[in-house]
Structure 1
Amino acid sequence: MATRHDRNEILDDEEKGGIQRTTTGVTISPELFEKLYLSPMTPHVGDYNRRFANPTALGFVGFGISASTFAMVLMGWGGASGLSPVAGIFFFTGPVLLTFAMIFEWVMGNFFPMMVMALFDVFWLSFGVLQLPTLQLGAPYATDADPTGTTAPAFNAAIALYLIVWGFALLTFFFFTLRINAVFASIFGLVTAASFVLSAAYWKVSQGEFDDALKLQKAGGALIFVVALLGWYACFNIMSAEIKPVDGCPTELLKKYFRKEQKPHSV
């Protein structure tokens, strides 16, 4: 049974404008909807937003753990070198949580978050394959000087090209994040830059310029670390809004620069 204190808190939230009562339920403003689901509010058939929990934060947890670990290893913190000891972030921590989040975003009709979860899901899986020595992906390029073949110019040039393609894919997503909020846009802007920087690192390895490659690797790691921090910030923001609506951290919605104001959406 709700106490008088609980009723007062609900009334306070209503007065702030994030929640409005109707004769059939509760409506939330476009601003609160986008804070919770990181997607522009569009009408959907059904009531999935009421029936299921918000999966967006789950995807951010998987992304945040994987990205922050990946970044710290790239920067060599604590003498770390090589990603094979933490290969689990590429196959379990990130992809498992992102896959669950992607499926439920699809079920709930949240198009853009579903695309984002799927994008990072396949990135971690595909890049994780490179961290498994047992696959011997460099074997066709092996020489007496390089038995593993992983420093061969052709091998590293192929990875560099792959990361360039990823950079353009992420850049495409970045333009659409400008319709949501500054934090989400910053995440995609920085991870796009990181993809191009890491591509340059692989180009340097293919040319035998290992010192420059290491510097670029650390720079890319630093960018991804900032991305991970922003991801944790967004995750905290979503969780705080879910646990107690309206309260939370600012994200500065950018949609107002791209389209007209929308009416509250019934949930």
Structure 2
Amino acid sequence: MATTATESSPVKEYNGGGTAAAPTKTTDGIEQDNSLKHTTTNISLSPELFEKLYLAPKVPHAVEHATQYANATPLGFLGFVISTFTFSMVLMGWGGASGLPAVAGIFFFTGPVLLFLSTVFLWIQSQFFPMMVCGMFCVFWLSFGLLQLPTLGLADAYPNGGAASKEMNAVIALYLLVWGFALFTFWLFTIRINAVFAGIFLFVTVGAWVLSGAYWKVSRGDIKAAEKLQKGGGALLFVVGVLGWYMIFVMMAAEMRWTVNLPVVDLSHYWRRTDVELAAMENEKMD
């Protein structure tokens, strides 16, 4: 049997600061590699945890891309919630607040910036539904924010009353009505994810329709009814903001590895699994 003759320096130091055993030679002149081997350990997320973190169903291509980058969903939620919370409190007139030009910045540099960045990152991560959500709210805040800038002179196109004219308020009412239907469509897809996310879309859908009614009442000259609807819409959006803050905290707590497991009332187990999801679970079992 061949005996081993070890080199005088059996340990080799690498530039990264790590060390590994240097190759040794047998008496037959055969070199043996004693260097350390790097192995990769895959950590699999359960479908429930994945949906809590990314607010999207767990499918193979989404998992592959999502685990390579930081979770961008909370970033978009943060921009949405800050804008919605501020907007709702102004609508309800807290502390005598009135008018939105003073906080027009949230419609351009708070909500839309964070939502746009999140949309791009989620597109890269192949997260379809949260990408759609962030993109939709991004363009909403941008378009609605333009209405709050008096320097643009949009109301000048309506000489009879300007911003208080029947025509302009009727146009905004129809715009919010359409947004309500868009939000309702998204709500139908959230009822497969979790109750908190579904609640956000339910209240924001109703809130959009209530605010549409407020603008419609202004166009009809019924100011008292418009004020009531405005406060009602603000209250609904305030609930949206509260649920949104809770969802952000849940996602950040999970990402920061807090030991608390905050409930979001998972709804996915009430729905039949698709072929793609079943295939993903089978692949995890094989791994």
**Same fold, TM exceeding 0.5?**
yes
Q: Does 1:93 align with 2:121?
A: no
- C-alpha change, 1:264 and 1:127, in structure 2 (3 Å) is farther
CA-CA distance at 1:136 after TM superposition:
1.1
Distance 2:283 2:98 in 1: 49
> Quick check: 2:122–2:131 contact (8 Å CA) kept in 1?
yes
Q: Using the alignment, how far apart are the partners of 1:255 and 1:135 within structure 2?
A: 46
Per-residue displacement from partner, 1:134-171 (whole Å, max 9, x unpaired)?
1111112123xx3xx11111110000000010000000
Partners of 2:172 and 2:254 in 1: how far apart?
Answer: 40
Q: How far is the alpha carbon of 1:47 from its aligned partner? A: 3.5
Letter in 2 for 1:154: E
* CA offset digits 1:25-54 (Å, max 9, x no partner): 111110000011000001107843222100
Residue 68 of structure 1 is matched in structure 2 by 85
Are residues 1:170 and 2:187 paired? no
What residue is the counterpart of 1:41 in the other structure? 58
Distance 1:70 1:167, change over 3 A: same
1:154 aligns with 2:167: yes
2:220 aligned residue (192, 207, 225): 207
Shift in alpha-carbon separation, 1:85–1:27, aligned structure 2, 3 A: same
- TM-score under structure 1 length normalisation: 0.86
Residue identity in the other structure for 1:202: Y
Alignment gaps of 5+ in structure 1: 1-21
RMSD of the alignment, in Å? Answer: 2.0
Residue 152 of structure 2: aligned partner: 135
CA distance in 2, matches of 1:45, 1:59: 18
Shift of 1:129: 0.5
User: Which residue of the partner structure matches residue 238 of structure 1?
Assistant: 251
Distance 2:248 2:207 in 1: 21
Take 1:264 and 1:104, find their aligned partners in 2: how far apart are those partners? 28
Unpaired segments of 5 or more residues in structure 2? 1-38
Give the partner amino acid of 1:32.
L
2:134 to 113, 117, 126: 117
Give the deviation of 1:247 after TM superposition. 3.5
Residue deviations 1:187-242, cap 9 Å, x none?
A: 00000000000000000000001111011000000000100110110000000001
Given that 1:28 and 1:265 are in contact with CA atoms closer than 8 Å, whether structure 2 keeps it comes out as no
Higher RCO, Cα 8 Å, sep 6+: 1
